[in-house]
Structures are given as structure tokens and as C-alpha cells.
Amino acid sequence: MTQYLDRVAKTFQDEDQRKSLFNDVKNLLISIGRIAILVGVSYVILSPIIGIIVNSFSSNKDAVNPMVYVLPHEPTLEKYKLVIERMDYLPTMLKDLAYSASLMVLQILVCSMVGYGFARFNFPLKSLLFGFVVVMIVIPGHSIMLPLYMTFKEFDPLGLATAITGAPINLMGTPIPMYIMTVFGCGVRSGLYIYIFNQFFRGLPKEIEEAAFVDGAGVWYTYFRIMLVNAMPSVITVAVFSLVWQFNDTFYANLFLIPENIVISKKISSLQMVIANVDKILEANIQELYLDAGIVLVILPIVIIYCLLQRHFIEGVERSGIVG
Amino acid sequence: MAKKKAKLSLLQKRMRTGYLFILPWFIGFVLFYVRSLIMTGQFAFSELTMNAGEGGYSLTFTGLDNFIYAFRAHATFKQVLTTSIGNMLVDVPLIIFFSLFMSLLLNKKFPGRFIVRAIFFLPIILNADAITAALELSAAMMNGGISTMATEVVENATATSSGMSMDYFIDLFMSLGIPTSLLDYVMAAVARINDIISASGVQIIIFIAALQSITPSMYEVAKIEGATGYETFWKVTFPMVMPHIVTNVVYTIIDNFARSEVVELAYDTAFTQFNYGLSSVFSLVSTIITCIILVVVVGFIQKKTFYYN
């Protein structure tokens, strides 16, 4: 004991050792603080998700039992069974994934093209036009929703539809408006993707293209076979963003009245009503459990894709052009 | 001379290809954005009636009637507008500070970094309306067990979950002489911690990317010159991140606005009450106010921003 105390006393007498001890304690405290904050915030993020998963497995009894906290007493899959049936889960999910993925491919092609055009070519009014891209990000979707609705309700490009069929085509209730908007670079958050690609292409060395030109590659060949391949980090970033946001989008889906059997997130909004009306489950608490099961089912594929891509995604974000 | 001419034509060729590359977007922008904005402006000054039979619609010019109705007679518009803007002004600085702080923590190397990052970016992929609503409810329920999901719990969630009396602390701080307005701000922040965390995913990403792009040699210099961690942050990290604070403020304001109640009100007015003119007024007024806020805030920050290049 006295030996130990002696050693402590010695440590305190020696200035260097005192400093290093002080530093050790400081670092320890800082890392404890950091862990505490990270765990705390992670809990805030994860707790509702844990709650939803738990609820989706709870039985009706658990829902009214005040003793139940986090772990249900009688776990059951009955909620999932009913919800899968009512949502027509598998076909709808496949259709929705196909819809979102096809739009994702379009977004990547169109936005990278436009981003490349802004990054590598000089033409008059370039900065003004790029300003318009920023404006596009800034303008909230709702301020143009009515005219968009009108445009696609009576879709008549250059009077062609009237010339052929005698009347404008009503595109409401189909996903076609979404495809048209995306092809013309105005899909869900296209402005942001153009911005990301533009920043990334500007950061790539010009020598790559010059080498391609010297070797006799045309502009389009260079873009598709060389630049797009080099832009993989930002392609992955945009792919994840656009797939997820397209999948989650309800604004355009509601605006264009895209049917529920293509957009599964719309089914979530109506699930509670269906459960109440078709299955005569009228207690709000119990309905909530079914809704939670539905949400777990809907976010499942997205979370899987995210987990598979997340390493690339985060690295891509760090290296890609979100920051100029 | 001949050489110059050839170069010029190459430049022109490049120019034309450049236009070709951005053409699809430009067509879309003119067709869907410019045209739509003009139409929205038109609707705001007219009364719009849908022709039920043959489709189409007709506009009758009513001047400022819609605006006057929105501001003088409409029951909730003014109130919703002010609360939306108020919330925005509370949230934006909080989100910026929070995401900067978090990105500093996440940027360090520590075991399990990838898992923590994956968790932090989860809110980005889960931000659908329906899911958000359910998540909020679930967050409230986690605080009080499944059976206590009354709405009061949602409001008091932050107060009751920890098992201590918030009122006691509020009283304590009040009697310590801390200004009430500051206390209110902190209280509002704590009550919205969920919203703030879920709204700051993209901002954290942008800040992390910014932190990664700072050249390590700067930190080396700072270290050699004997700067403490505190000084390094304020003299190196913060100025280097500053330009991205502008980006983040813009993104946060827009994102916040897109989720605000005014947008919901405009949507409801158009699609459940079919009052398109009034809805256009709501959209227009709120968009213009947001743009003004954007310009003022960005202008203010940009004045203070340090640009490395």
C-alpha cells in the first residue's frame, strides 16, 4: 500500500508524468463522452424502428397489457399474414421496385449527362443556366403541382395528341408522367443529382478526356465509356438516393394519381382504413400493430439494399462531388 | 489566320455538344418549371373553374381577391404560415449545429464507425410521409410502453420518459436567472430532438465530406505551431467548413419548408376543397417568403464566409 502511494506521489512530482497522466484522463473522458453521445443519438434514431418491429410481432393481448415493455409476451406472425394478404405484398413490391429502379436508371443517365454538359463544356449563358438548376432545387414541388396536374391531365404535346386521336390524352392514374418528367431531367430531386454529378465531373482531371480524344474517341463514346465509369462513386450515391427517394415518394405519386399497385407507400396510407373496413378491426391500438407490420414489410427491401450498398455509398459520398 | 478559324470552329463544335448534353434538362425545365410557375402566378390572380363535362378549365380574372381572402378571411392561413416560419427559424440553426457537431464526432476513427454511420444515415432512407408518421407515434410509445399511447404522452414524452420532473429543472433554471426566452428555445429544441436528428442526415453527409476534403497538412502546421484542439477547430476546421455551412443552410431551409404545414395546407386546399386559386396564393406567398429568407440568410452568412481559393 505504501509502495503504491509512493509511486503515485512520485508520478505527481515528475512533471512529464503528471502531464501524460492528465492527458490520459482527459482522453478517456472525451472518448467516454463521445461514446455516450453516439449511443444516445443512435438510440433516438433506432428506438422508433425497434418499437415498430416489436409492435409488429405483438399479439392483441400484448397491445393492452401494461406489463409489456419492448418484448412481447406472446409473439405472433398473424399480423404479417393479414397485412401481406391485404397489401397484395409480393406483386406490389416487385412492381414498385421495378418502377423505382427503372426511374433510377433514367435519373442516372439524364442527370449525369446534364451534369457532364455543365462541367466540361463552355457555352454562352452557362452560369445563368446552372443558376436555373439551383432554382429547380429551391422551388418546392408544391408550388408547381397544380399546373403539372393540369398538364398531364390533358397531355397534348405540340397538339400531337389532338391531331391523332382528336382529344388530349389523360395520363392521370398512370406512371407515364413520372417517366416523362424524369427523362427531361425534372424527376424527384433531379436538380440535386445534376448538382452532385456536376461537382464530381469538375473534380476529375481533364487529362483523362484529352487522352481519349487523342486516341480518337468521340464525345459520346468518351462520356459513356470513360467518364461515366470514372464517376462510379457519385453514380452509386445518386443511385441510392434516387432509388430510395423514388420509392418513398408520395408527393408525385399522389399528384399523378399513380395507382396503388405500383406504389407501395401509398398502400401504407390506406392500410389502416382497409384493416378497419374489411377486417372489422376497430380498435386503434390494434390497427396500429397491423400498420407497423406493413411498415416493416415496406422498408425491408430498402433497408436491405441500403445495408448492401452502404459501405460504397458512404465512401462514395465522401469522395464524390457533394462537396466541390 | 486559317489556324485560328479552325480552332474557333472546334470551340463552336464543343459548344454545340455542350448544349446537346443539357438539352433534355432544358426542355424539361422550360416545360415543367417555367411554364408551371407562370401558370401558378395566373391562378393566383383568377378564379379557376373546372369544366366538368369536356375537361379543361376556365379562368376568370379576379385581381387581388384571392390574396385578400387568404390574409383577411381565411381561418388558418396566417397562423399556419407564421408557425411554419417560426419552426423553420428554430430548427435551422439547431440542425446546422447538430449536424456539424455530429460530423466532427463521426469523422474521427473509432471502432464500429461504419455501424454508427449506417445508423446515422438511416433517417435519410426512411423519410416517407407515412413511415415518418408511424415512426413518430412509435417513438412516443417506446417512452411509455405499448398501452400508453394517448396523445398526451406524445406531447409529454420528453418530460416523462426519463422519470424525472422536468418542471423541477425548469423552476431551478428560472430561479437561477436564466432568461425565459433562452429556456424556451432550449425546451423547444429538446422536445424536437427526434425531428432534428431525422432531418439532419444529408447535412451530416455534406459536413463529413467537407471535413475529409481539408488537407491534413493544415492540421500538421497547426500542431507544429502549438495550437490546442480548441484553437485548431476555430482557426482551421471551422473556416474550411464554412462554405459548406451555406450549402447546408440552403438545403435545410428548403427541406424544412417542403415538410412544413403550409405545404400541407396548400395541398389540401387544392385537392380536397378544389380551391385552386387560393391554393396557388398559398404556394406563391410561402415560396416567396422562403426565397426572401434564403436570400437574406445566405447573403448574411456569405459575408462572413471565408473562401480558401
Q: Cα separation of B275 and B47, whole Å?
A: 8
On whether any CB of chain B is under 8 Å from the CB of A49, the answer is: yes
Q: Cα separation of B211 and B307, whole Å?
A: 15
Residue A169 CA: distances (Å) to CA of A69, A277, B58: 55, 35, 19
Question: Is this complex's ipTM strictly greater than 0.90?
Answer: no
Task: Assess whether pLDDT exceeds 80 at residue B56.
Answer: no
- Which of B118-122, B287-291, B301-305 ranks highest by mean pLDDT? B287-291
Residues of chain B found within 8 Å of residue A254, distances taken between Cβ atoms = 271
3-class secondary structure per residue, chain B: CHHHHHHHHHHHHHHHHHHHHHHHHHHHHHHHHHHHHHHHHHHHCEEEEECCCCCCEEEEECCCHHHHHHHHHCCCHHHHHHHHHHHHHHHHHHHHHHHHHHHHHHHCCCCCHHHHHHHHHHHHHCCCHHHHHHHHHHHHHHCCCCCCCCHHHHHHHHHHHCCCCHHHHHHHHHHCCCCHHHHHHHHHHHHCHHHHHHHCHHHHHHHHHHHHCCCHHHHHHHHHCCCCHHHHHHHHHHHHHHHHHHHHHHHHHHHHHHCCHHHHHHHHHHHCCCCHHHHHHHHHHHHHHHHHHHHHHHHHHHHHCCCCC
Domain boundaries, chain B: 79-142+188-304
The full set of domains in chain A, from first to last, is: 2-57 (no CATH), 78-319 (1.10.3720.10)
Q: Do A143 and B128 touch (CB under 8 A)?
A: no
Confidence of residue A98 (pLDDT cuts 50, 70, 90): very high
pLDDT at A99: 93
CA atoms within 13 A on the CB side of A112: 28
**What pLDDT, in 10s, does the model give residues A239-254?**
888 888 888 888 888 8
pLDDT at B151: 39
pTM above 0.80, yes or no: no
On whether any CB of chain B is under 8 Å from the CB of A279, the answer is: no
Task: Assess whether pLDDT exceeds 50 at residue B162.
Answer: no
- Which of A65-69, A137-141, A277-281 ranks highest by mean pLDDT? A277-281
Task: Assess whether pLDDT exceeds 60 at residue A205.
Answer: yes
pLDDT at B140: 58
pLDDT at B133: 67
Q: Do B22 and A219 touch (CB under 8 A)?
A: no
**What pLDDT, in 10s, does the model give residues B195-238?**
788 788 888 887 887 887 788 888 899 999 998 888 998 888 88
Q: Cα separation of A320 and B208, whole Å?
A: 12
Scan for cell 392561413, then name that residue.
B77
On whether any CB of chain B is under 8 Å from the CB of A96, the answer is: no
Task: Assess whether pLDDT exceeds 90 at residue A103.
Answer: yes
Q: Which whole number is the average pLDDT over B66-72?
A: 79
Residue B253 CA: distances (Å) to CA of A138, B71, B95, B302: 9, 24, 10, 16
Residue A169 β-bridge partners: A155
Residue A83 CA: distances (Å) to CA of A52, A77, A272, A290, B127: 14, 10, 10, 7, 22
Confidence of residue B160 (pLDDT cuts 50, 70, 90): very low
Residues of chain B found within 8 Å of residue A68, distances taken between Cβ atoms = 145-147
3-state secondary structure of A169: strand
Q: In chain A, which residue's Cα lies nearest the Cα of B50?
A: A150
Longest distance between any two alpha carbons in chain B, whole Å: 86
- State the sign of the Cα–Cα–Cα–Cα dihedral B227, B233, B234, B236: positive
Q: Which CATH superfamily is domain B79-142+188-304 in?
A: MetI-like (1.10.3720.10)
Q: Do A63 and B147 touch (CB under 8 A)?
A: yes
Q: Which whole number is the average pLDDT over A1-25?
A: 79
Q: How big is chain A by its Cα radius of gyration, in Å?
A: 28
- Least CB-CB distance to A45: which of B119, B129, B148? B119
Is A135 in contact with B250 (CB distance < 8 Å)?
Answer: no
SS3 content of chain A, % helix, strand, coil (to 5): 80, 0, 20
pLDDT at A104: 94
Is B241 in contact with B210 (CB distance < 8 Å)?
Answer: yes
Which range among A116-120, B98-102, B300-304 shows the weakest confidence by mean pLDDT?
A: B300-304
**What pLDDT, in 10s, does the model give residues A35-53?**
898 888 888 888 878 888 8
pLDDT at B191: 73
Strands (E), A71-124: none
Higher pLDDT, B27 or A318: B27
- Least CB-CB distance to A129: which of B22, B127, B136? B22
On whether any CB of chain B is under 8 Å from the CB of A250, the answer is: yes
**What pLDDT, in 10s, does the model give residues B78-131?**
888 888 888 888 888 889 999 999 888 888 777 877 788 778 878 777 766 666
Confidence of residue B166 (pLDDT cuts 50, 70, 90): low
Provide the Cα torsion B225, B226, B229, B231; round to 10°.
-60
Gap from A67 CA to chain B (nearest CA, Å): 8
Q: Cα separation of B307 and B213, whole Å?
A: 14
Q: Do B131 and A298 touch (CB under 8 A)?
A: yes
Which residue, A179, A21, A276, A34, is CA-closest to B24?
A179
- Least CB-CB distance to A184: which of B28, B141, B267? B28
Gap from A147 CA to chain B (nearest CA, Å): 5
Q: Which whole number is the average pLDDT over A158-179?
A: 79
3-state secondary structure of A313: helix
Q: Cα separation of A188 and A265, whole Å?
A: 15
